[in-house]
Amino acid sequence: MDVIDTIILGSGPSGFAAAFTLLKAGKKPLVITRNSFNNVCSEVTIESVEPVVDTLINDICGKTIAATASLGIFGGIYSDGQYTPTKFSGNSLRHGIHLDRGVFNAQLLSVMTNAGINIIHDTKARNIFNDNNQVTIVLDDGRRLTASYLIDCTGRKQVAGRLLQLPRQYYSPRLTVWSGIDRINIQIPTYAASFISEENGWTWLAPLENGLTGWTRVALTNHAALTPPFSIMENHKTGVRSADTRWRLFRPLYSGKILLAGDAAGVLDPAAGQGILNALWTGKIAAEAAVKMIDEPTKEQTIVQQYDTWHFKRFEMLAEQLRSYYKVRRIIFAVFLELFIT
Ligand SMILES: Cc1cc2nc3c(=O)[nH]c(=O)nc-3n(C[C@H](O)[C@H](O)[C@H](O)COP(=O)(O)OP(=O)(O)OC[C@H]3O[C@@H](n4cnc5c(N)ncnc54)[C@H](O)[C@@H]3O)c2cc1C
């Protein structure tokens, strides 16, 4: 039987980056995911990414993917009357992309499948056993799989962190994010995304190609003044998606043979479009750490600690950037954020 170098739980951007990085290093990753081609496209949800996301994807797998999943593009961001263009590459402006997340997820799966990465679809990890020599996961059909390492890329499900009850640190009060796609009844520029600050949160508006607008809103949880922006919606089209977006990070970002990446490691709210970019980066760096540990097992402790330090510093830097962003815009929950500085 083939030895499984590394099991990657999850096939979102962090799982994708981790799997490709291992494959390119000559290893044999096995991806286990609840996703399948049939279930990822079932609902259209919108997320916006800066152009650097497709550059990083190209670096990881030799292809660009985000453009294929585009529901609209943006040349810059309007925020409090100020316009900031997206990055220039040479002399030309590179556009940000409003992604159809279902199509994007399907693309990630398809590129992995075509590259020959071994994937078990439509399966959930139910339990994890982690000892000093190996890690074993139990799938929902009862199968047990054992590997040298596991990278948890299960997003907000945070499967390893939850099952193993790893300690975590909070960086914000409880925040909720809502998003949806609707026809709206206010005028916004169609070539830009708009970030509208409010006292207790913010709204992101993403004009799409079909006259609809993707919107995302973040506010203090249970704050009555900030529910989804029903007042600006016409012909409400899709369900409203909501999630807990309290800033949080597991400490440390490894346990035994398990490394945590993407949202499975930590969550910040989606301002500045960092979620997908961060998932790609941390998935890639976690897999590079796994490659080094497979090649040099005696250095395992040093390697996991280096990963932990890198990831922790990155998270703290992004949290600090967001904190300053909110402070400048006088979003009141910036005050609460200060209380959580550790
Ligand atoms: C409402 C909302 C709006 C957002 N807007 C933006 C945005 O505009 N821009 C942006 O960059 N980010 C945005 N984000 C954040 C972004 O969605 C995440 O940061 C990103 O998807 C994290 O990627 P990931 O690979 O860590 O996890 P995910 O993309 O969540 O992937 C998790 C994977 O794990 C699998 N999985 C879960 N549980 C199990 C299990 N038990 N067993 C096996 N597999 C499992 C899932 O099937 C999936 O394949 C938004 C998030 C929300 C909630």
Residue 228 clears pLDDT 60, i.e. is over it: no
Same domain, yes or no: 120 and 222: no
- Domain-located, residue 28: yes
Among 203, 222, 244, the domain boundary falls at 244
Q: How far apart are CA 180 and CA 136, in angstroms?
A: 38
Please compute, for residue 224, the number of CA atoms within 13 A of its CA located in the half-sphere on the CB side.
Answer: 0
* Residue 321 maps to a domain: yes
Residue 60 lies in a domain: yes
Through-space distance between the first and last CA atoms of the chain, rounded to whole angstroms: 47
* Pair 324, 222 in one domain: no
- Whether residues 210 and 319 share a domain: the answer is no
**Using 50, 70 and 90 to split pLDDT, how confident is the model at 185?**
confident
Q: Which residues, at least 6 apart from 337, have a Cβ–Cβ distance to it below 8 Å?
A: 171, 172, 173, 247, 322, 323, 326
Task: Tokens 């997320």: give the residue.
Answer: 47
In the chain, pLDDT over 90 holds for what percent of residues?
63
Q: Rounded mean pLDDT of 69-97?
A: 84
Q: Which domain holds residue 136?
A: 4-73+92-171+246-328
Asked if residue 130 lies in contact with residue 257, where contact means CB atoms within 8 angstroms, the answer is yes
Q: What's the CATH code of the domain at 37?
A: 3.50.50.60
Do 315 and 250 belong to one domain?
yes
334 found inside a domain: no
Q: Both 133 and 229 in a single domain?
A: no
Instruction: Please tell me the least confidently modeled range out of 132-136, 158-162, 246-250, 278-282.
Output: 132-136
Nearest CA to 29 out of 108, 144, 117, 139 is that of 117
- Pocket flag, ligand 1, residue 21 (CB < 6 Å): no
Task: Give every CB contact of residue 39 below 8 A, 6+ residues apart in sequence.
Answer: 122
Taking the C-alpha atoms of residue 97 and residue 72, their distance in angstroms, rounded to an integer, is 6
Domain identity same for 240 and 251 = no
**Mutate-to-test residue for ligand 1 from 7, 8, 21, 34, highest number of ligand atoms within 8 A of CB:** 34
Residue 214 included in any domain: yes
Protein residue with its CA nearest to atom 15 in ligand 1: 275
| Helix boundaries (H) for the chain | 13-24, 37-40, 52-61, 101-114, 159-163, 274-295, 300-328, 333-339
Query: So what's the pLDDT on residue 103?
Result: 93
For 83-95, write each residue's pLDDT tens digit: 988 876 666 678 9
The pair of three-digit structure tokens given for residue 98, joined into one six-digit string: 């409003």
Give the per-residue pLDDT at 88: 66
CA angle 312, 313, 315 (to 5 degrees): 65
Token pair 């909110």: residue: 326
Report pTM: 0.94
280 and 207 in one domain?
no
What confidence tier does 238 reach under pLDDT thresholds 50, 70, 90?
low
Could you tell me if 140 and 187 lie in one domain?
no
Assess whether 236 and 100 both reside in one domain: no
Average pLDDT, the chain: 89
How many domains does the structure of the chain reveal?
2
CATH at residue 206 = 3.30.70
pLDDT category at 200 given cuts 50, 70, 90 is confident
Distance (angstroms) between ligand 1 centre and the Cα of 3 equals: 29
Of 190, 211, 244, which closes a domain?
244
- Is 78 contained in some domain? no
C-alpha 304 – ligand 1 centre gap (Å)? 23
Are 156 and 46 members of one domain? Answer: yes
Please check whether residue 222 lies inside any domain of the structure: yes
Q: How far apart are CA 327 and CA 111, in angstroms?
A: 41
Q: What is the mean pLDDT of residues 47-74?
A: 92
Amino acid type, 51? P
Q: In this structure, is residue 240 part of a structural domain?
A: yes
The residue out of 244, 260, 287 marking a domain boundary is 244
Judgement on whether residues 18 and 163 belong to the same structural domain of the protein: yes
| Mean pLDDT within 84-108 | 85
Residues 101 and 122 in one domain: yes
